[in-house]
Amino acid sequence: MHVGGRTKLHANVTLQNCRVGTDCLLHSGVRIGADGFGFWVDTAGDVHKRPQLLRVLLGDHVEVGAGTCIDRGSWRDTMIGSHTKIDNQVQIGHNCQLGRFVVLCAQVGLAGSTIVGDGAVLGGRAASVGHLRIGAGARMAGAAVATKDIADGATVGGYPAWDLKNETRVLARLRRMIRD
């Protein structure tokens, strides 16, 4: 484990299986490098834990909010790009790859192996199913759920996430129908 210069750790931060860059800020209760939620079922129906043997790599100037958990990788390191800002109570699953200048608001949940491109912003309680890509510069509205890849620069909302303009039109029509 390595913690870069001028990085500040607040109370009750737990670091294991990780490398933290310089000038980072980790708020109270952050957990970095624990095993991810990886299991497989054999032909007899028995559930087995998938080994989680790799690390979490945080770039420089990363801020991680209180109570956030970032799981270590199972087949590739979990990576958080430089200048990324993560709010409180965020869950980042094993093998996730976040680019530079990513912003994750409160309670975002990224399932394992999600890739988030540079400069993407995910609103509060946004989430992804695993093994998909959220493109560079993409914007996800609060509580949106990505169930398939999100294109670079797209702005999405809803469940499943789709073009935010369409989502707001549908919701407006639904509300008008209910009032009538």
Q: Which amino acid is at 48?
A: H
Output the CA–CA distances (angstroms, integers) from residue 180 to 31, 167, 173, 174, 177, in the order listed. 50, 20, 11, 10, 5
Annotated catalytic, 94?
yes
Cα–Cα distance, 73 to 38 (Å, whole number): 10
Give the active site residue among 27, 61, 94, 131: 94
Structure tokens at 10: 């607040």
Phi, psi of 176, deg, nearest 5? -65, -40
Active site residues: 94
